[in-house]
A and B are shown apart, each in its own frame.
Chain A
C-alpha cells in the first residue's frame, strides 16, 4: 500500500515539474535555514570539544551584588571567593578555577598577533577534553611553581612557528617568554569558558589571589561525578551562597551566583534575574521563533498543495466512488506530502552542509567548526515530519470532503 502511494506521489511530482520545483525549493530552503540555526545552537551549547560531557559540566561565571537602594553590580567572581568556597565543595568530582580570556599582543617578525590568553590551573586540563596535537597540558608542578609554560592552539602554532613542531620552543606573549608544552586543536570562540589562543598557569597572576571582594575576573568549571549529581551540586552551592551572604558586613546585601550549564547561564543573563534560570522561557521563545519562521513557507506550501490536488479531483472521485473513506484519502495525501518533504529535506541537508562549510570558511565566527552531526540530523528529520504534517493536513482534509459526483465531473470551486 505504502509503496503504491509513493509510486503515485512520484508520478504526480513528475507531472508538473514547475510546481514540484516550487515545493521542493520552499521545503529545502526552510529546512536549510532551520538546520543552520540548529547547528549553530549545537555548536555553542551542545557537547563539543573540549566540553564533551555537557550534562556533567557546570560553570560559575557571574556574581551579582545588590544592595538596598538600587545599587547593583555584576561580573565574574574573584579568585578568593572561588578558592575559599567553590574549590572546597564536597559533591563535585573536580573543580577548576580559570580566568576569563584577555586579549594581548605578541610580535613576531614585524607582525603583530592579537592573542587571547587564559590563566588556568591543572584541573582545567583534567576536566575538559582537548584534542592535543602535540605534548600535553601543564602539570601540577608547573602551576605550583608558576613556571613559564604555555599550551597554544593550532592557529597560533601556524602563525608563530609555521609548519615546525612547537613543543619545546619559546613564545613571547605580553612581553613574557613562555616555553610551549602542548598544542591543541582550535577551540571555537563561542565556547566562552574554554576558549583561548594561549593557556598559561594561573599562578602567573598570583598577586591577585589575595585581593578581597567577591568580584574579579575568574570562572569556575565544575565537573560532577554523574549527571544525577548536578542538582545536589546546585543545592550545595546555594547553601554556600546563603552562608557568604550572611557574612557580608554591609547590611541589605543580596548576592546571586549559580553553577549553570552554558545555556542556563545565557538564559539567566537575558531572561531572568531571580532563582529560576529561565531556561523554560528560552525554549518557548526558540520554539515560537522557529514556528513563526515556518509559518510563511507552510502557508505557501498549503496554497500550492491545494492547487495541485484540484487537478486530481477525478482520481479522488473514482476512489470515492469505489468506496474509499475520507480517512484513507487523508492518509494517502499526508503520506504523499511527507514523502515530498523528506525529499526536500534531503536536498536541504545537502544545501546546509554547503552553507555550513561556507560559514566555517568565511571566518565570521572565530575557529568555527560547524557541522552536521547525528543530533542536528535527528532534529532536521523531526522538522521535516512536522513540516510535512502541518502543510499536508489542511489540503488533505479539503480534498477528502469533495463530493464524489462533483469530483468526477471535474472538481468544485
Chain B
C-alpha cells in the first residue's frame, strides 16, 4: 500500500515538490515560534523564589556631594523608612532589584569547577523578610556576620549544582580573590530575579553592611509595606526623604508594575510573532486545501476506474489521505533533520527538552493541518459515482 502511494507521489513529483517545500518551510517557522513559546512557558511555570506583592522599590540618585556625606544621608534614609508604621521591612540592594533592567554577573570557582555567568545580588540582612525568600538550608545574613572572618554568601540550588555537585556546600569556602574568601552560609531553592520568563541561572547573594563601609552608596531600597498602603503614604515618604537627601532624584515604583513592564517586553514580541506565524500557517492551510482540492478533482478518471474495479468509497478516501500523509512526512523529515541540529549543536544555551517538545508539537500540528486540509477534498473524491467519472473521461 505504502509503496503504491510512493509511486503515485513520484509520478506527480513536480507539483508535489512545491507542496513539500511549503510543508518544510511551514514546519521550520512553526518550530521556531514553538521553541520560543515552550521556552517561555516552561520558565513561567517555575517558582520565582520570592513574593513581590506589596513591595516597593525606592531608587535614589544622589547629587554630587562627597561620598561620605551621601553615605551618612543614606543611613538616615534607611532608618527613617524602617521607622514608618506602614513599612514592615526595608532592605538595600544593588541596582539589580527584582524585575529591574540591570543585571550584574560574576563567576565563582570552587576547586576546578567554575560557575557559568552567575547573577550577583548585593543585599542586606532584611532582604529575606522583604522578599520572603525561602531558605532550604542554612541561614540568611545577620548581625553575627559583622565579626565573621570570611565574607558570607547565600547561593541558589543551580549554583550549588555547578560548583559542588553532590557535596555538602554549607560552610565551604569559595575564593573571591587571592586574599578574601566567601563562606557559604545558606542555600535557596530558586531565585529568578530578572524576569518571570528568564531561565533558572546560578545566583549568589553577598552581604551589604552599611555600618562597616562608611563611603559606599547603594541607590535602591526595597520596601515591604503593609497591605492597603497607598499613594498618600508614598507621597509623604518621598517628601520626607527629599528633606534628608536634598537634590537627590527619587523614584518609587511597585514591583508589580515593574513585573508588568518586564512581562510586556517578553509577551509583546511573542504575541506579534505568534500572530504572524498563525497567519502564515492559515495561509499555507488555505493554499494546501485549494491545491489538493484542485488536484484531486482532476483525477476523476483514476477514481472512477478504481471504483469500477471494486474499490470501496472508503478505500479511495483512505488512499488520498494516505498520499497527503506521505507527502507531509517527506517535508517533515527534511524539516526535522534541520531542526534537530539545534539541540545537537547547542546553538543557544537552552535545554534540549525545549527543542524536542517544540519539535513534537510542530510535527503534530502539521499532520493535523494537512489531514484537515485533505479531509474535504478526499471525501468529495470518494463520493464520485464511477459511471459519471468514467463518462467524463
A contacts, CB < 8 Å to B: 18-19, 21-22, 25-26, 29-30, 33, 102-105, 107, 110-112, 114, 174-175, 207-208, 211, 293, 295-297, 299-304, 306-307, 310, 364, 413
Contacts and interface: CB of A to CB of B under 8 A. Distances in A.
B251 A104 contact: yes
A22 B249 contact: no
A107 B231 contact: yes
B230 A110 contact: yes
Given A107-B231, A211-B64, A174 B250 contact: yes
A103 B252 CA distance: 9
Nearest to B234: A112
B293 to A, nearest CB: 8
B359 to A, nearest CB: 19
Nearest to B230: A110
Given A102-B61, A303-B19, 13 more contacts: A25-B283, A25-B286, A29-B279, A104-B250, A107-B231, A107-B234, A110-B235, A207-B247, A208-B64, A211-B64, A296-B26, A299-B25, A303-B22
B3 to A, nearest CB: 21
Contact of A103 (B11, B29, B251, B295): B251
Contacts of A111: 231
A132 B48 CA distance: 46
A105 B238 contact: yes
Contacts of B230: 110
B235 A22 contact: no
Given A105-B250, A107-B235, A306 B279 contact: no
B63 interface: yes
A104 B279 contact: no
A7 B280 CA distance: 30
A110 B284 contact: no
Contacts of A26: 283, 286-287
B249 A174 contact: yes
B18 A303 contact: yes
A310 B299 CA distance: 13
Given A19-B290, A299-B22, A307-B295, A110 B283 contact: no
Contact of B239 (A33, A175, A207, A307): A175
B32 to A, nearest CB: 11
Nearest to A26: B283
Contacts of A293: 276
A296 B25 contact: yes
Interface string B15-55: 10011011001100100000000000000000000000000
A296 B283 contact: yes
A304 B291 CA distance: 6
B251 A300 contact: no
A413 B12 contact: yes
Contacts of B253: 103, 114
A300 B61 CA distance: 56
Interface of B: 11-12, 15, 18-19, 21-22, 25-26, 29, 61, 63-64, 230-232, 234-235, 238-239, 242, 247, 249-253, 264, 268, 276, 279-280, 283-284, 286-287, 289-291, 294-295, 298
A103 B289 CA distance: 53
Contacts of A110: 230-232, 235
B339 to A, nearest CB: 16
A146 to B, nearest CB: 13
A356 to B, nearest CB: 13
Contacts of A174: 249-250
Contacts of B19: 303
B268 A300 contact: no
Contacts of B21: 299
A103 B61 CA distance: 11
A45 B74 CA distance: 42
A303 B279 contact: no
Contacts of B239: 175
A174 to B, nearest CB: 6
Contacts of B242: 175
Contact of A18 (B238, B264, B290): B290
7 contacts: A22-B286, A103-B251, A104-B251, A107-B235, A296-B280, A304-B287, A413-B11
B287 A105 contact: no
Contact of A105 (B63, B251, B268): B251
Contacts of A306: 15, 18
Contacts of A29: 279, 283
Given A306-B15, A306-B18, A296 B61 contact: no
B252 A297 contact: no
Nearest to A413: B12
Contacts of A304: 287, 290-291
A111 B289 CA distance: 56
A21 B290 CA distance: 10
Contact of A112 (B231, B291, B295): B231
A112 to B, nearest CB: 5
Nearest to B271: A364
A156 B238 CA distance: 20
Contacts of A112: 231, 234-235, 252
Nearest to A410: B298
Nearest to B289: A22
Contacts of B26: 296
Closest 5 CB pairs of A and B: A300-B287, A107-B235, A307-B294, A175-B242, A22-B286
A107 B247 CA distance: 18
Contacts of B238: 105, 107, 175
Contacts of B279: 29, 33
Contacts of A364: 264, 268
Contacts of B268: 364
B389 to A, nearest CB: 16
A91 to B, nearest CB: 32
Contacts of A21: 286
Contacts of A310: 298
Nearest to B231: A112
B232 A300 contact: no
Contacts of B251: 102-105, 114
Contact of B22 (A114, A175, A300): A300
B365 to A, nearest CB: 15
Contacts of B12: 413
